[in-house]
Structure 1
Amino acid sequence: MIVDGFPAPPALVEHARRFRAEGGVPAVPRVAATVLLLRPADAGFEVYVLRRLAAMAFGGVYAFPGGGVDGSDSTAHLDWAGPSPAGWGARLGLSPQAAQAVVCAAAREVFEEAGVLLAGPDAATVVGDVGDDDWEAARQDLAAHRVGFAELLADRRLTLRSDLLLPWSRWITPEFEPRRFDTYFFVALLPEGQRTRDVSGEADHTMWIRPADALARAEAGELAMLPPTLVTLAQVAAAGDLPGVARAAATRDATIPVTPRLDDTAAGGPRFVLA
């Protein structure tokens, strides 16, 4: 699948051809972050995926929790554990301020969309269950922009555990899409005592699934997924187990972007190829 490219849905093919024929100008990608939440399973490990609502950008397909960087993500003053913003900048190929924004966005989005909080009372601990009514009210305030992520953590005297996020890759949406994202992918282990919850309001189905099973179901046409999700699932599946994923993350280059390109002259029909 990855070697030969990915079949392109007819609607996207038509959209891409119209974009080229009309001399369309690519939209500027918005910087974003997404997180592969992983947890141990009887046979290896599982990843958390959600299906975006059909009315949303890239709706109807399964993806990982994530979203765009907010302005406050780069200016937030918060307790921070793990690599410094400068250290993160070296890993992501960004300035310290921009790197902080991406890391904050990753942690904020996984809390907003999955109810998982990568923070703790200090640099060595993580909070337990955050699914009660009090925490849910705080999550809703964050999602509605009534409170900032740094403010939420400060009010509860919590430290952002940036060390729980491992950088994996970087993907940029094809030029013909009207909404484009420059997305940094991270992996993170589900903290002990926490559980995912279908709370974002942006998904109509969520599940934990083994990466190999997700790929098999996508191949069979049971799960709709775009190339970034398919490739990333194949990469973490190839790591074998959770320690293998961590080892692989340590050697990956998340600075070089991958952009799917539509090849509508392929012998087997239009396909996305990676560039």
Structure 2
Amino acid sequence: MSKSAGDALIPAATILLLRDGAEGVEVFMVVRHHQIDFASGALVFPGGKVDKLDREPHVRERVDGAEGLDDWEFSMRVAAIREAFEESGVLLARSEQTGKLVDAARLKMLEHYRDPLNKGEVGIGDFLAREGLRLCGDALTPFAHWITPSMMPKRFDTRFYLAVAPEDHLAVHDGSESVDSVWIRPVHALAEAEAGTRTIIFPTRMNVEKLGESPSAAHAIEAARGRPVVTVEPQVTKNDAGEPVLRIPVEAGYSVTEEPLSAVANVAKPKAG
């Protein structure tokens, strides 16, 4: 049976921006706007859909670390960096003249591009060419790959990456798609979700928990490089008590392999009309 257009997977990418705090690794997270139809109000990592402009041929020549990447993986990395800039103001890019990371002073001069990039009024390739920049595709470490379960009204094919945030970049939410932001230790994010003061959806929670196994950003990146990324597409099934659950593969390396279906039922809002 052929799938309808509504069943098509939407390619998306997200970055776990990391830094080392006084008590260990911290990750930057944003709170999604309540009017967004997927994970509204939830604490998530900056990220979003791959844009057709991310795939333009001239983009590849302005991305470090693009060698050997197929078009799918390449577009994921471009989208991840672009979305992080749009949603948090952190830009993983280098000057093509000096080879050095964009510093805080230069970043401030590039701030006005965030909204046009988000609206598709300027493509990432044109932005890089105008400003003499190269994306740091080589700064991203693959961390996870999740596909939204088939019963959801909107399905994403999402790649998660790790990256250390430049020390002098001030991460701030965009005020539209995201309405709040925080640097937070994984253990604190999980505790707040457990207490009901934060909403964290299942895939995000699993990846926050996995990140929390590392005491530092460097350790998290080293650990991710040392293990294969196993694609997770949760399957609807029943547990031993006959209750419906989402089940994920043991090989993915998370602490649990199933989640009650009732806990994930309201991630996506029903389609209007």
TM class, shorter-chain normalised?
Answer: 0.7 to 0.9
| Partner residue, 1:165 | 140
Contact 2:56–2:125 under 8 Å retained in 1? no
Structure 1 unmatched ranges of 5 or more: 1-23, 90-95
Match of 1:75 among 56, 60, 64: 56
Structure 2 unmatched ranges of 5 or more: 250-273
Q: How does 1:17-36 map to 2 (within 5 A)?
A: 27-36=7-16
- Please list the CA deviations of residues 227-251 of structure 1 after superposition, one character each: whole Å capped at 9, or x if unmatched: 1111111111102211211111212
| Partner residue, 2:261 | none
Q: How much has 1:220 moved relative to structure 2?
A: 2.0
Q: How much has 1:260 moved relative to structure 2?
A: 2.5
Contact 1:85–1:99 under 8 Å retained in 2? no
| Partner residue, 1:201 | 176
Structure 1 SS opposite 2:193:
helix
Contact 2:91–2:107 under 8 Å retained in 1? no
| Partner residue, 1:261 | 235
| Partner residue, 1:274 | 248
Distance (whole Å) between structure 2 residues aligned to residue 140 and residue 271 of structure 1: 39
| Partner residue, 1:103 | 77
| Partner residue, 1:117 | 91
| Partner residue, 2:223 | 248
| Partner residue, 2:114 | 139
Q: How much has 1:131 moved relative to structure 2?
A: 5.4
The answer to whether residue 214 in structure 2 is matched with residue 214 in structure 1 is no
Distance (whole Å) between structure 1 residues aligned to residue 34 and residue 129 of structure 2: 36
Distance (whole Å) between structure 2 residues aligned to residue 179 and residue 210 of structure 1: 30
- Please list the CA deviations of residues 7-65 of structure 1 after superposition, one character each: whole Å capped at 9, or x if unmatched: xxxxxxxxxxxxxxxxx997121111011011110001211111212221121211101
Structure 1 SS opposite 2:65:
coil
- The one-letter code of the counterpart of 1:49 is M
Instruction: Give the structure-1-normalised TM-score.
Output: 0.81
| Partner residue, 1:65 | 46
- The one-letter code of the counterpart of 1:45 is V
Q: How much has 1:198 moved relative to structure 2?
A: 1.6
Q: How much has 1:193 moved relative to structure 2?
A: 1.4
Structure 2 SS opposite 1:98:
helix
| Partner residue, 2:23 | 43
| Partner residue, 2:32 | 52
Q: What's the RMSD between the two structures over aligned residues?
A: 2.2
Q: How much has 1:268 moved relative to structure 2?
A: 9.4
- The one-letter code of the counterpart of 1:28 is A
Distance (whole Å) between structure 2 residues aligned to residue 188 and residue 214 of structure 1: 19
Contact 1:217–1:223 under 8 Å retained in 2? yes
CA distance change for structure 1 residues 265 and 99 in 2, over 3 Å: closer, same or farther? Answer: closer
Q: How much has 1:252 moved relative to structure 2?
A: 2.8
Identity over the aligned pairs, expressed in percent?
A: 33
CA distance change for structure 1 residues 221 and 270 in 2, over 3 Å: closer, same or farther? Answer: farther
Q: How much has 1:170 moved relative to structure 2?
A: 0.2
Contact 1:30–1:180 under 8 Å retained in 2? yes
- Please list the CA deviations of residues 125-169 of structure 1 after superposition, one character each: whole Å capped at 9, or x if unmatched: 21012553x422221221121111111111110111111111111
The answer to whether residue 165 in structure 2 is matched with residue 190 in structure 1 is yes
Match of 1:232 among 207, 230, 246: 207
Q: How much has 1:75 moved relative to structure 2?
A: 2.0
Judge which range, 194-203 or 265-274, deviates more: 265-274
Structure 2 SS opposite 1:107:
helix
Judge which range, 167-176 or 196-205, deviates more: 196-205
The answer to whether residue 198 in structure 2 is matched with residue 223 in structure 1 is yes
Match of 2:155 among 171, 174, 180: 180
| Partner residue, 1:153 | 128
Contact 1:32–1:105 under 8 Å retained in 2? yes
For these two proteins, the number of residue pairs brought into alignment is: 242
Distance (whole Å) between structure 2 residues aligned to residue 32 and residue 174 of structure 1: 15
